[in-house]
């Protein structure tokens, strides 16, 4: 029952992230992009139609690897900027991508402006309609997509990822939340990020804090 409750919470959070209209124009994947994949399965696509127009294409390769490809419009042609498997969940659960305008974390009283790329993975079996994890990347002014939020149903933690720290929070009861802030830097750029390296608990994040070199303590 606990897993069901947290799966419902994850789904509610995804709805919150996706409630605002996406910063995109509805449309079909351009033919010159689609033609590059041949028989490879295109699982999902997401478009941002703004300054630096972008298409994301999620594919499932014949050897069952999820890959994300990023295309931008340059001089009237769609150019691949990068592709990554590490920044996607793997395994049997269905993966979906969505672009939205904003996200709001009521617990931390934070609003993050878009465009935001949301990567969600659903469960399997009886949980196939429930989101079991999601990661959110916001586009920076210089065009990088930076990881700022994650949620893990099984571990029950919501995660806010800043440049120099990671904040974990989860409800203890209706009126109280548990918080942990860990001073650790993670790779946030979608181009280089590895989702398996994102600590799912405060304890896992603390294990990533670099040890202080001998002889550099405050007593020296």
What is the tens place of the pLDDT at every residue in 86-134?
Answer: 999 999 999 999 999 877 776 777 888 879 999 999 999 998 899 999 9
Give the model's pLDDT for residue 6.
Answer: 46
Residue that wins the pLDDT comparison between 176 and 83: 83
Are the C-beta atoms of 145 and 138 separated by less than 8 Å? yes
Supply 199's token pair: 């600590």
Long-range contacts of 35-42 (CB under 8 A, 24+ apart): none
Write out pLDDT tens, residues 129-158.
999 999 999 999 899 999 999 999 988 899
Q: Which phi and psi angles does 102 have, rounded to 5°? A: -165, 165
Structure tokens at 33: 């992009």
For the record, the structure tokens of 97 come out as: 């991508």
Average pLDDT over residues 7-20: 45
| For residues 156-179, average pLDDT | 89
- Check pLDDT > 80 for residue 8: no
Q: What is the pLDDT of residues 30-49, one digit of tens each?
A: 999 999 998 899 999 999 98
Whether the CA torsion 81, 85, 86, 87 is positive or negative: it is positive
Confidence of residue 27 (pLDDT cuts 50, 70, 90): low
| CA geometry: angle 16, 22, 28, nearest 5 deg | 135
Residue 80 burial (CB count, 10 A):
13
Q: How far apart are CA 146 and CA 128, in angstroms?
A: 28
Total Cβ atoms within 10 A of residue 125: 7
Q: Look up residue 50 and give its DSSP letter.
A: S
- Predicted pLDDT of residue 204: 95
State residue 218's pLDDT score.
Answer: 47
Model pTM score: 0.83
Residue pLDDT, tens place only, 55-92: 999 999 999 999 999 999 988 899 999 999 999 999 99
CA distances from 159 to 140, 142, 199, 201, 205 (A): 19, 24, 9, 9, 11
Pairing between strand 145-152 and 176-182? unpaired
- Per-residue pLDDT, 189: 97
- Given this model, what pLDDT does residue 4 score? 44
């Amino acid at each position: 029952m606990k897993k069901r409750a947290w799966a419902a919470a994850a789904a509610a959070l995804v709805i919150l992230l996706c409630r605002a209209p996406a910063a995109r124009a509805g449309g079909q994947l351009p033919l010159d992009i689609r033609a590059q994949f041949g028989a490879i399965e295109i699982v999902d696509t997401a478009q941002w139609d703004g300054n630096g127009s972008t298409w994301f294409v999620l594919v499932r390769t014949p050897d069952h690897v999820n890959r994300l490809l990023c295309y931008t419009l340059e001089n009237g042609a769609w150019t691949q900027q990068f592709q990554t498997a590490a920044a996607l969940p793997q395994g049997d659960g269905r993966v979906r991508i969505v672009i939205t305008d904003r996200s709001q974390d009521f617990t931390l009283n934070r609003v993050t402006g878009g465009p935001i790329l949301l990567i969600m993975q659903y469960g399997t079996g009886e949980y196939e309609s429930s989101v079991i994890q999601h990661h959110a990347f916001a586009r920076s002014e210089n065009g990088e997509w930076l990881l700022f939020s994650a949620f893990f149903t099984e571990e029950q933690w919501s995660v806010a990822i800043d440049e120099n720290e990671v904040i974990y929070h989860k409800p203890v009861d209706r009126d109280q939340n548990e918080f942990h802030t860990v001073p650790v830097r993670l790779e946030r750029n979608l181009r280089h990020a590895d989702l398996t390296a994102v600590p799912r608990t405060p304890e896992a994040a603390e294990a990533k804090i670099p040890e202080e070199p001998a002889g550099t303590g405050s007593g020296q």
